[in-house]
């Protein structure tokens, strides 16, 4: 969603710092836990060293910090020019559309409802709906199961390296779109199957793949 369909101005580092402050209080923060690492990596580190009940409690706390900031950012998110038209074009081709995001369901639905886009998706999977997040394959496979679509008949479209990695983990072709929060070389190093200048180029790619 954010970065592909919407311009989503969220200070992820600030959210990570809030989570790290809580870990510091509990004596659980280690030197390698900085505001540079993703929530996914942070939670994996905690999961390795904590009892399940304690981990779930901390994960809930971390999610709450991020959700507060995501909801605020969702109220100010801007839809990329042409993104809605592109989604409607894809829908007119009778394609199934699924959305997978590492954001909370509250923030995600707020953004989608603001732009009247929630009905266009056959399935929506957020971090609240799955035990794992991208770059793990689990949320991708969950959305495919909900849509009854096979990996072979699917393209994963995203602006981030984690989208490409999640697609690879799920055995699905990936489409990287720019602009991206990552340097272009880092995106290329992740080896997406296709690279587009905009999500609005997706119908043209599909035309080429159909030929």
SS3 207: helix
Looking at CATH, the fold of the domain delimited by 79-210 is given as Rossmann fold (3.40.50)
When pLDDT is cut at 50, 70 and 90, the band that residue 81 belongs to is very high
Pick from 115, 90, 88: nearest CA to 8 = 115
Can you tell me the mean pLDDT for 123-138? 96
When pLDDT is cut at 50, 70 and 90, the band that residue 14 belongs to is confident
The overall pTM is greater than 0.85 = yes
pLDDT value for 51: 92
Q: What's the half-sphere exposure (Cβ side, CA atoms, 13 Å) at 6?
A: 26
Q: Please give the mean pLDDT across all residues of the chain.
A: 92
Q: Where are the domains of the chain?
A: 7-74, 79-210
Long-range contacts of 126-133 (CB under 8 A, 24+ apart): 126/101, 126/102, 127/63, 127/101, 127/102, 127/103, 128/63, 128/104, 129/105, 133/39, 133/40, 133/102
State percent of the chain over pLDDT 70.
100
Cα distance between residue 198 and residue 82, in whole Å: 9
């Amino acid at each position: 969603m954010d970065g592909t369909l919407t311009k989503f101005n969220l200070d992820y580092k600030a959210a990570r710092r809030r989570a790290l402050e809580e870990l510091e209080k509990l004596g659980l923060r280690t030197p390698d836990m900085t505001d540079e690492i993703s929530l996914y990596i942070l939670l994996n580190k905690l999961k390795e060293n904590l009892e399940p009940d304690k981990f779930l409690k901390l994960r809930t706390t971390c999610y709450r910090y991020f959700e507060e900031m995501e909801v605020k950012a969702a109220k100010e998110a801007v839809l990329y020019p042409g993104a809605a038209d592109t989604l409607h074009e894809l829908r007119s081709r009778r394609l199934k559309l699924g959305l997978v995001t590492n954001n909370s369901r509250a923030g995600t639905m707020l953004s989608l409802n603001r732009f009247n886009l929630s009905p266009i998706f056959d399935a929506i999977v957020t971090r609240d709906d799955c035990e794992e997040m991208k770059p793990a394959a689990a949320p991708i496979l969950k959305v495919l199961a909900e849509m009854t679509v096979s990996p072979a008949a699917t393209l994963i479209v995203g602006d981030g390296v984690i989208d490409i990695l999640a697609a690879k983990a799920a055995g699905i072709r990936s489409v990287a779109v720019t602009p991206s929060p990552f340097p272009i070389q880092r995106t290329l190093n992740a080896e997406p199957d296709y690279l587009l200048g905009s999500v609005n180029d997706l119908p043209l790619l599909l035309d080429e793949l159909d030929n």
